[in-house]
Amino acid sequence: MTSPEEIRRRIEGALPGAEVQVADTTGAGDHFEVRVRASEFAGKTLIEQHQMIYRALGTLMPEIHALSLRTAAP
């Protein structure tokens, strides 16, 4: 089981200054909705932006059953 705080910590660790919102959509710790606004996304494609988040989550990814992701540059 993964906590929303752990997800937030990993993303903020990889993208300092990012604005991160994490919702545990079922309360079971394996379905999440994540919104990230980060200056690092500027000039990147959506694929690249999402890959940055997947990389930040790293070892958490196999534990997360469903992840809905929205990313944007400020």
> Could you tell me which of 17, 5, 16, 7 has the C-alpha nearest to residue 54?
7
Q: How many helices (H) and strands (E) does the chain have?
A: 2, 3
CB under 8 A: which stretch of 8-16, 36-44, 66-74 binds other proteins? 66-74
CB under 8 A: which stretch of 8-16, 36-44, 62-70 binds other proteins? 62-70
- Binding residue for other proteins (CB under 8 A) from 46, 63, 73, 74? 46
- Binding residue for other proteins (CB under 8 A) from 28, 42, 66, 73? 66
